Structure 1
Amino acid sequence: MLAIFQKQVALAPQELNSPRAGGVKPKNPDEILRDFHAAHPADAFSTSFGGGAALACVTSHALPAAGYQRMFCGLDDIFCVFLGRLDNLSSLIRQYGLCPKSTNEALLVIEAYRTLRDRGPYPADQVIKDLSGSFAFVVFDNKSGNVFAARSNDDGGGAPLFWGVAADGSVVICDDRDVVKRGCGKSYAPFPVGCMFHSEGGLKSFEHPMNRLKAMPRVDSEGVMCGATFKVDTFTKINSMPRVGSATNWAAAWDDAAM
């Protein structure tokens, strides 16, 4: 899967950008999207949005050895690309009052996001912690222009997910390391496990929501700075995590807990 968001939609953490590093130069979003299609000429599909966003996916049957199912869904102008599995999908379907026959993981994530956006009975971190399994997803709300992404932290280390910064500053999120590496040069890193990203609130841990995240410089095999990884700072606590009930105060509450 691939998601690209221009700067007016989402901003990557500044520590992820390594503009002075040598080596491969970052590419523009259009080039990265073309490279993704070239890598999967028969099975990739994509959609672009007028506000500066693009989503792409490869059909699951095209990559059977990867062990992760891939899904792309849209509902009420909310779109989700999903990688992995939810082990408790059946119970979550009952919890959200959805139809078992027509609901897959991607649609469930859309419903969870919509519940957070419109009603928000729980903090965002609690909603993501309720998802059991190995997964990574990106949600794009075309109405509000918001981006919501997360990666699990299961026993296997979580479904593969990487992110980086394109030549024009766009955020690039993809499960294919080579696509991100070629497209973002040295400005890329693994998306941190157990974390979620919101375009208005930034990056935070859903496993340890009361702790801030700390950027750790990342050096490649050549000794060159290569983006940054993010770890939970056990010594820095967040004062409070207020409950939220709308899109506006959800983002405001997230700001209190972001880096």
Structure 2
Amino acid sequence: MLAIFHKTFAHPPPELNSPESASSIPPKPGHRRCHPKNPEEILRDFHSAHPGDSFCATFSGGAALACLGPRAPRPNFLHRRFFCSFDEVYCAFVGSVHNLSSLVRQYGLCGKSTNEAMLVIEAYRTLRDRGPYPADQVVKDLAGSFAFVVYDNSTGAVFAALSSDGGVPLYWGIAADGSVVICDDLEIIKGSCGKSYAPFPTGIYF
């Protein structure tokens, strides 16, 4: 899973910015500096790392979601992966929700073909349209190991979260143009953001 959002959509914490990424001081002997890349390069790297198994959706203004398809081979496919969209809301989801059935009833989705990504979309739409409904409550209601990124193309809103157990790896960083990069592949995030990356905090939302 890879998500890239221009800084007009999302503002990462300033702590993610590493002075070393932009430093003009030469690296120590034997060390090679990895500079942050632009979003186009990052997307190309993601597709190159997973040839034939990845796809992406790009949006005007500098937003993109890229995922692995259902036939991606192990070890890349250690967790279940979903990509869904409904009413201009897009969700990339990795992992599983153990209380999916009860939440399907809670959100009135009974009788519909629903997976974790569709549930998260509905939870986001409830948060957006029927507030006040605390965003942290949406995350707390989900029991399981998961990471997800939601992008609302109609409003430009971004909603990302990682389960409190940390069972799914997730990282975030800053691209060369200041865009936020969120990815579950450590090598992709390291190659994309230089030193300006960190693990995504568990049990919270962004």
Same structural fold, with TM-score higher than 0.5 when normalized by the shorter chain: yes
Distance, in Å, in 2 between the alignment partners of 1:192 and 1:166 is 19
Could you say what secondary structure the match of 2:8 adopts? coil
**Structure 2 residue 8 is matched with structure 1 residue 8:** yes
Q: Residues 211-226 of structure 1 correspond to what in structure 2 (within 5 A)?
A: none
Structure with more strand by fraction: 1
Which structure has the higher relative contact order (CA within 8 Å, separation 6+)?
Answer: 2
Q: 1:107, CA displacement in angstroms?
A: 0.4
Q: When the two structures are aligned, how many residues end up with a matched partner?
A: 195
Q: Is the 8 A contact 1:158 1:193 kept in 2?
A: no
Per-residue CA deviations over 1:122-177 (Å, capped at 9, x if unaligned) read 311112100000000000000110100000012xx331100000001000000001
Structure 2 residue runs without a partner (length 5+)? 22-26, 28-32
Distance, in Å, in 2 between the alignment partners of 1:190 and 1:16 is 10
Matched residue type, 1:109 = V
Q: Is the 8 A contact 2:144 2:163 kept in 1?
A: yes
Could you say what secondary structure the match of 1:128 adopts? helix
1:208 alignment partner in structure 2: none
Q: Residues 125-136 of structure 1 correspond to what in structure 2 (within 5 A)?
A: 125-136=136-147
Per-residue CA deviations over 1:7-56 (Å, capped at 9, x if unaligned) read 11111111101033452011000000000000111110001101210000
1:78 alignment partner in structure 2: 89
Could you say what secondary structure the match of 1:10 adopts? coil
Q: Is the 8 A contact 1:90 1:100 kept in 2?
A: no
Distance, in Å, in 2 between the alignment partners of 1:2 and 1:42 is 16
Could you say what secondary structure the match of 1:82 adopts? strand
Could you say what secondary structure the match of 1:144 adopts? coil
Distance, in Å, in 2 between the alignment partners of 1:41 and 1:60 is 13
Matched residue type, 2:11 = L
Q: 2:181 aligns with which of 141, 162, 172?
A: 172
Q: Residues 155-234 of structure 1 correspond to what in structure 2 (within 5 A)?
A: 157-197=166-206
Q: Percent identity?
A: 67
Distance, in Å, in 2 between the alignment partners of 1:101 and 1:52 is 32
Distance, in Å, in 2 between the alignment partners of 1:134 and 1:54 is 24
TM-score by length of 2: 0.91
Distance, in Å, in 2 between the alignment partners of 1:77 and 1:101 is 19
Q: Residues 9-88 of structure 1 correspond to what in structure 2 (within 5 A)?
A: 9-21=9-21, 23-65=33-75, 66-88=77-99
TM-score by length of 1: 0.73
Q: Is the 8 A contact 2:139 2:204 kept in 1?
A: no
Structure 1 residue runs without a partner (length 5+)? 198-259
Q: 1:63, CA displacement in angstroms?
A: 3.7
Distance, in Å, in 2 between the alignment partners of 1:165 and 1:107 is 28
**Structure 2 residue 121 is matched with structure 1 residue 110:** yes
Q: Is the 8 A contact 1:80 1:139 kept in 2?
A: yes
Runs of 4+ in 1 over 2 A off after TM superposition: 19-22, 63-67
Matched residue type, 2:114 = T
Q: 1:121, CA displacement in angstroms?
A: 4.9
Q: Is the 8 A contact 1:26 1:167 kept in 2?
A: yes
